[in-house]
Amino acid sequence: MKDKISIVGAGLVGSLLALILKQKGFNVQVFEKRNDPRKSENVEGRSINLALSHRGIRPLKLAGVYETIEPYLIPMKGRMMHDEAGELTFQPYGKEGQFINSVSRAQLNQLLIESAEKAGVEVHFDHKCTDIDFENNELTFHNGLTQQSDLVVGTDGAFSAIRKNLQYTDRFNFSQHYIEHGYKELSIIPTDDKFLLEPNYLHIWPRGNFMLIALPNNDKTFTCTLFFPFEGNLSFAKLTTKDEVNAFFEKYFTDAKALIPDVADQFFDNPTSSLVTTKCEPWHKNNTMLLGDAAHAIVPFYGQGMNSGFEDVRLFVEMAEGMNWKWDEVLPAYSASRKKDADAISELALHNFIEMRDHVGDPDFLRRKKLESKIQETYPKEWIPLYSMVTFSDMPYSEALRLGKIQKRVMDEFLQKEGDVDFDEIINRFNTLKQGG
Amino acid sequence: MKDKISIVGAGLVGSLLALILKQKGFNVQVFEKRNDPRKSENVEGRSINLALSHRGIRPLKLAGVYETIEPYLIPMKGRMMHDEAGELTFQPYGKEGQFINSVSRAQLNQLLIESAEKAGVEVHFDHKCTDIDFENNELTFHNGLTQQSDLVVGTDGAFSAIRKNLQYTDRFNFSQHYIEHGYKELSIIPTDDKFLLEPNYLHIWPRGNFMLIALPNNDKTFTCTLFFPFEGNLSFAKLTTKDEVNAFFEKYFTDAKALIPDVADQFFDNPTSSLVTTKCEPWHKNNTMLLGDAAHAIVPFYGQGMNSGFEDVRLFVEMAEGMNWKWDEVLPAYSASRKKDADAISELALHNFIEMRDHVGDPDFLRRKKLESKIQETYPKEWIPLYSMVTFSDMPYSEALRLGKIQKRVMDEFLQKEGDVDFDEIINRFNTLKQGG
């Protein structure tokens, strides 16, 4: 196979795709508008660390790079909630032995680029795509160079240049929607070489309309992220002085503030970033395809942005291989099968923000969680909680969303009943609704 | 007042806005990417004629140009439905003396540009805006020229260059959505100097999932528009030969086909155009504002695209005058007050397509229409039909939409009841729901 494939964007999805397509025997070139990340600083406006889980791990294993990456991962077994008094509550993410993994975006990206280059992929940094001719699959770059290929894949993120060009073709549906919240990253830096919070958890300070979270890093620091409204009574717009920032953290995040003595300095040094959901359709035109954030950027609250992008890569390559790499058939078939799942994880991610910031500390939510874990104990195969379907399975996101809605409905019904809960009745009701009854 | 105002786009909305702002004493310049329409042909992809009604007429009168335009208008008193047997049914649009007006887009645009120029507006044709610096209100054009102003207004349509630039600013929400149908225009040309259909009606051939309409022109022709799916069993994709086109028109539009002997030639000579809804928010940034289609492009089925754009002009200028032309206060205030109305007419326009193509011939729809006209006869002030609120009033579109939904609910309730209809009861129910009861 000698097909020439051009990938625009050497981020996480683009570099993994390049590696796998090279392993399949293609002539793969990657074009990245930024400088080589191994030679420059972390990029503003993108999170420092991410949560890698099953859907992301599986394609890394298929590509044979998981072993290289594993040493950099920090397992997180569940949520550790901090209430205003500093009291901790633990909620496991799944069953014993199931966890998600904190990983540095920059480290993971570098490892993937290096693996792709070792496999023979040519990565051209400092090549900003300025135009694409969809009829001839020809890319133009800011330096005037052009590149013709058999297949072009845009993995150039939420603000994709490839998608921007698609937007001005006829009958291309597109939306970008920003939520009312932005985010700001802050660091917890240890004084000696020890984590200042328990490392194997994702820490959450849920505060109703806003929240702080913290993920561990390899260097024993934690990266905290404040998700906070841009406008309103309690908002970024209202925190304009160091005194205000200190008072705000003292009041709402007392225990966290004690670990970040320079919180006010960090607050004004670090950027405030926005959070966007993008949707588009179709994802392809002729022999050009969008994958990952370029096709479906989502908010980060389900930890599935990167994972869904890596799953895109696996599903796209598996489908293409099954169709004998006939791109003109693969591209529409892939779009048709995957679009509903991208829409589903987009919806789930928006909804999980409300759960994380508002519900996780709520008595009603905890009652539901307790009921659910008992159902699951009794029927471990029949009833898999929504979080597990999304995070620890390969089930299509759209099916997880559908089943999750049925589970919610069944639990709502049984939580309203008085007397003892009959688990057989619950599972029967669930199975009936599941079959469309 | 010496404020320098740059308007991008010399279409219907831009030229009317320019005229009115010039009359208010501003230094107004208009930049248009196309050539002077007085020197060139009609532009592809935009409808030939439009329906001008109350919301569009009012600002034309305020600008003192309505008298110039009136001789070019052809009143349309209602819908004339053609069934498959060629039988005609008439539905008036409003009360006796209420009508909408067929007008040529090109003629109206020329009259408005001429009026603006006569008033002292400078119109620069062949100036394509390529960039805008929102910090300095500076426009750049394809010829390298730049223009700095106190206020920039983008009236450059559904594919606005100004909005395109806004889209890449942070936290700008945007969507463009194409419906499944496209349209194709066809002409009914008289052999002698007489209209071949009754001229004072909007003719409709409703056929379920598709429809043909016809509006009269001053030269005694009719412009027909076929609204038809792009894909599917009965679709543009399936009509590939002249025989297929002839057979299709013969079967579904027998009486119309008899008036268009060269329908198959016209079908392949004329373009197939798509239909888009765009939404965005905010409509302004610093001293740059979007108005008309640039802010909210809608599908044409309520005949409100131009009318809502002209109403934008009136409301914007009235609000600005009331706020003493303080643009930094006017722009956010206008967006805040008008956005909900743009969303409402967008929804109404999409819904009216279903009514026009599918419901207008339906017995259930006719029963509802009959009930409604009786309610209106009995309570002419209390109950104004939705079509009249939208077409013959200045009521905010969002309020018309809200009241229309209540009317539908009340009629649904009473149509299910048996026995005689009590109109007092209907109007009481309507008034209760209207007040939020």
Q: What is the pLDDT of residues A181-239, one digit of tens each?
A: 999 999 999 988 899 999 999 999 999 999 999 999 999 999 999 999 999 999 999 99
> Residue A44 above 60 pLDDT?
no
Is residue A12, in this structure, part of any structural domain at all? yes
Cα distance between residue B335 and residue B347, in whole Å: 18
State whether A174 and B176 contact (CB < 8 Å).
yes
Say yes or no: A282 and A347 in one domain: yes
- The reported pLDDT for the residue numbered A394 is 97
Q: What are phi and psi of B236, to 5 degrees?
A: -55, -40
Q: What are phi and psi of A146, to 5 degrees?
A: -125, 160
Identify from B160, B173, B183 which residue to disrupt to test chain A contact, counting A C-beta atoms within 10 A and taking the largest count: B173
Say yes or no: A163 and A183 in one domain: no
> Tokens for B269?
């000579």
Band the pLDDT of B46: cuts 50, 70, 90.
low
Search chain B and give the residue with CA nearest A171: B178
Cis peptide before B380, with omega less than 30 degrees from 0? Answer: no
Distance from CA of B254 to the nearest CA of A (A): 31
Distance from CA of B325 to the nearest CA of A (A): 26
Higher model confidence: residue B192 or residue B123? B123
For A171, the closest of B168, B170, B178 (CB atoms) is: B178
State whether A168 and B176 contact (CB < 8 Å).
no
> Residue B357 above 90 pLDDT?
no
Say yes or no: A324 and A381 in one domain: no
Say yes or no: B181 and B167 in one domain: no
Say yes or no: A256 and A313 in one domain: no
Kindly list the residues from chain A whose CB atom is less than 8 angstroms away from the CB atom of residue B274.
170-171
State whether B172 and A178 contact (CB < 8 Å).
yes
Q: What letters, b where the CB count within 10 A reaches 16 and e where it falls short, cover B358-367?
A: bbbbeeeeee
Domain final residue, candidates A351, A384, A404: A351
The pTM assigned to this predicted structure is 0.91
Search chain A and give the residue with CA nearest B279: A175
Cα distance between residue B290 and residue B325, in whole Å: 16
Query: Which A residues, 271 through 290, put their C-beta within 8 Å of a C-beta on chain B?
Result: 274
Check CB contact of B231 with chain A, cutoff 8 Å. Answer: no
DSSP class of residue B338? H
Which domain range does residue B285 map to? 4-73+104-176+276-351
Is residue A78, in this structure, part of any structural domain at all? no
Kindly list the residues from chain B whose CB atom is less than 8 angstroms away from the CB atom of residue A278.
none
Search chain A and give the residue with CA nearest B273: A170
Kindly state the average pLDDT of the residues A110-122. Answer: 97
Cα distance between residue A273 and residue B170, in whole Å: 9
Instruction: Provide the number of structural domains found in chain A.
Output: 3
Band the pLDDT of A50: cuts 50, 70, 90.
very high
DSSP class of residue A38? G
Check CB contact of A176 with chain B, cutoff 8 Å. Answer: yes
Band the pLDDT of B418: cuts 50, 70, 90.
confident
For B173, the closest of A171, A177, A230 (CB atoms) is: A177
Is residue A88, in this structure, part of any structural domain at all? no
Is residue B88, in this structure, part of any structural domain at all? no
Kindly list the residues from chain B whose CB atom is less than 8 angstroms away from the CB atom of residue A231.
none
Domain final residue, candidates A254, A274, A294: A274
For B274, the closest of A167, A171, A178 (CB atoms) is: A171
Say yes or no: B428 and B404 in one domain: yes
pLDDT in tens, A231-251: 999 999 999 999 999 999 999
Cα distance between residue B255 and residue B183, in whole Å: 20
For B171, the closest of A167, A173, A274 (CB atoms) is: A274
A403 sits in the region (left: phi over 0; alpha: psi -120 to 50; else beta) called alpha
Cα–Cα distances in angstroms (integers) from residue B387 to residues A173, B53, B304, B404, in the given order: 29, 12, 11, 9
Identify from A160, A163, A171, A280 which residue to disrupt to test chain B contact, counting B C-beta atoms within 10 A and taking the largest count: A171
Search chain A and give the residue with CA nearest B160: A168
- The reported pLDDT for the residue numbered A171 is 96
Kindly list the residues from chain B whose CB atom is less than 8 angstroms away from the CB atom of residue A178.
170-173
Is residue A201, in this structure, part of any structural domain at all? yes
State whether B230 and A171 contact (CB < 8 Å).
yes
Say yes or no: B136 and B237 in one domain: no
Cα Rg of chain B, angstroms: 23
Proportion of chain B above pLDDT 70, given as a percent? 97
Kindly list the residues from chain B whose CB atom is less than 8 angstroms away from the CB atom of residue A274.
170-171
State whether A230 and B171 contact (CB < 8 Å).
yes
Check CB contact of B171 with chain A, cutoff 8 Å. Answer: yes
Check CB contact of B176 with chain A, cutoff 8 Å. Answer: yes
Band the pLDDT of B1: cuts 50, 70, 90.
low
Tell me how far the alpha carbon of residue A238 is from its chain's centroid: 29
Say yes or no: B281 and B270 in one domain: no
State whether B173 and A178 contact (CB < 8 Å).
yes
Kindly state the average pLDDT of the residues B325-349. Answer: 97
pLDDT in tens, B380-403: 999 999 999 999 999 999 999 999
Tell me how far the alpha carbon of residue B233 is from its chain's centroid: 29
Between vectors from CA A125 to CA A124 and to CA A131, what angle results, nearest 5°?
80
Domain final residue, candidates A258, A274, A290: A274
> Residue A43 above 70 pLDDT?
no
Distance from CA of B164 to the nearest CA of A (A): 10
pLDDT in tens, B161-177: 999 999 989 999 999 99
Average pLDDT over chain B reads 94
Say yes or no: B268 and B280 in one domain: no
B376 sits in the region (left: phi over 0; alpha: psi -120 to 50; else beta) called alpha
Check CB contact of A44 with chain B, cutoff 8 Å. Answer: no
Band the pLDDT of A162: cuts 50, 70, 90.
very high
Higher model confidence: residue B431 or residue A356? B431
Interface size A-B, in CB pairs within 8 Å, comes to: 34
Kindly list the residues from chain A whose CB atom is less than 8 angstroms away from the CB atom of residue B230.
171
- The reported pLDDT for the residue numbered B40 is 64
pLDDT in tens, A252-292: 999 999 999 999 999 999 999 999 999 999 999 999 999 99
> Residue A42 above 80 pLDDT?
no
> Residue B279 above 70 pLDDT?
yes
- The reported pLDDT for the residue numbered B41 is 58
Q: Which residues contact A113 (CB under 8 A, 6 or more apart)?
A: A10, A15, A37, A38, A123
Proportion of chain B above pLDDT 90, given as a percent? 86
Say yes or no: B215 and B323 in one domain: no
Cα distance between residue A434 and residue A201, in whole Å: 33
Identify from B130, B177, B180 which residue to disrupt to test chain A contact, counting A C-beta atoms within 10 A and taking the largest count: B177
- The owner of tokens 């002409």 is B187
Kindly state the average pLDDT of the residues A339-347. Answer: 98
Is residue B81, in this structure, part of any structural domain at all? no
Is residue B92, in this structure, part of any structural domain at all? no
**How far separated are the first and last CA of chain B, in Å rounded?**
49
State whether A274 and B168 contact (CB < 8 Å).
no
- The reported pLDDT for the residue numbered B2 is 78
Say yes or no: A252 and A328 in one domain: no
State whether A174 and B174 contact (CB < 8 Å).
yes
Collapsing DSSP to helix, strand or coil, B393 comes out as coil
State whether B176 and A175 contact (CB < 8 Å).
yes
β-sheet bridge partners, residue B123: B30
Query: Which B residues, 108 through 167, put their C-beta within 8 Å of a C-beta on chain A?
Result: 159, 167
Cα distance between residue B320 and residue B326, in whole Å: 7
Say yes or no: B20 and B109 in one domain: yes
Is residue A297, in this structure, part of any structural domain at all? yes
Distance from CA of B354 to the nearest CA of A (A): 20
> Residue B437 above 70 pLDDT?
no
pLDDT in tens, A399-425: 999 999 999 999 999 888 877 888 899
